[in-house]
Amino acid sequence: MPVRVNTTDPEFLAMLQERYAGFVGSAERADMEFDVDLAPPRFSDPEADVRVTRSQGRWLLERGDFRAEWSPALRRGWVRQSANPYSIDAVLRIVHTLVLARQGGFLLHSASAIRNGRAFLFAGVSGAGKTTISRLAPPDATLLTDEISYVRRQESGYIAFGTPFTGELAKLGENVSAPVAALYLLAQGPENRIDAISSAEAARRLLANVLFFAEDEELVQSAFHSAFEFVSRVPVSQLTFVPDARVWELIR
């Protein structure tokens, strides 16, 4: 989903090019376009909750360090922030959750990697092991992300894409994609093993890991039903692992 970012500040542009290295392209057509209006830094609470609301067909995104607006109909928006990469990163994540929700996809708190042409997702809250399993990935696995997986719905199933949204590993994913073969819900334990879970449990735990910011009933309904659709099509199980590369012997 090509995103065009317009700025008149060359230093900010260079900052973004470095931040999103590997994901910078020259597509003629953009699915989203943002004008960035840089403002002087001001005090803001980095822990402040983000607010995402809809009014007259436009989404308003607000956090201590930015204000932004996104029009789905026009596929355009603006961001007002200081010259830092974190604010626009948050805006892009949020807008992608809005766009994907309409299409039956989502951003998921999960690491993901491609192996043998198939994508595997490893979901869990902070501390569950997303960074660890990413770090243990063998050379033949292509890391898509260690933090936020990008999942799109297609007619034949689901596709996972690499993202520049990093976690503790601070390593960008590869800009590639593959059909989703499985979702593993991470748990750490004394041995490596995969356990089946019920569809209801799978849906509940998937929903707990879907990134969702909007205070919007229609979008909540979309995200809710998308999660059930996903678990009806993609195998979901629990992956218990010790911090040992042998866990990847189970992921093929």
Partner 1 sequence: MSRLYLARNPRVAARALDGEMMIMSGRDSTLFTLNKTATIIWQSADGSTPLDEIVERKICVEFDVERSAALHDAESLARELASHEILQISEQPIPPRNPAGESR
Q: Which of 1, 54, 224, 250 binds partner 1 (CB under 8 A)?
A: 224
Half-sphere exposure at residue 56, Cβ-oriented, CA atoms within 13 angstroms: 1
List b or e across 190-211, with b for residues whose CB sees 16 or more CB atoms inside 10 angstroms.
eebeeeeeeeeebbebbbebbb
Q: What is the phi/psi pair of residue 132, to 5°?
A: -65, -50
Q: Which of 246, 119, 108 is nearest to 178 (CA)?
A: 119
The minimum distance between CB 46 and partner 1, in angstroms, equals 22
74 binds partner 1 (CB under 8 A): no
The answer to whether 186 and 129 are in contact (CB under 8 A) is yes
Q: How far apart are the first and last CA of the chain?
A: 28
From the list 40, 42, 95, the residue with the least C-alpha distance to 70 is 95
Q: Minimal distance in Å, beta carbon 88 to partner 1?
A: 24
**Contact by Cβ (8 Å): 137, 112:** no
Q: Using CB under 8 A, which residues numbered 149 to 208 contact partner 1?
A: 198-200, 203-204, 207-208
* Candidate list 41, 195, 221, 243; residue touching partner 1; CB under 8 A: 221
Closer residue to partner 1 (CB): 28 or 217: 217
Q: What's the closest the beta carbon of residue 202 comes to partner 1, in angstroms? A: 9
By CB under 8 A, residue 252 contacts partner 1: no
Please, which residue, 78 or 224, has the CB nearer to partner 1? 224
Smaller CB separation from partner 1, 68 or 231: 231
Neighbours of 97 (CB within 10 A): 21
Instruction: Give me the least distance between CB of 126 and partner 1, in Å please.
Output: 19
120-143 as b/e: b if 16+ CB within 10 A: bbbbbeeebbbbbbbbbbeeebbb
> Total number of residues binding partner 1 (CB under 8 A)?
18
90 interacts with partner 1 by CB under 8 A? no
Check residue 215 for interaction with partner 1 (CB under 8 A): yes
The CB-of-210 to partner 1 minimum distance in angstroms stands at: 9
**Interacting residues toward partner 1 by CB under 8 A:** 198-200, 203-204, 207-208, 212, 215-218, 220-221, 223-225, 228
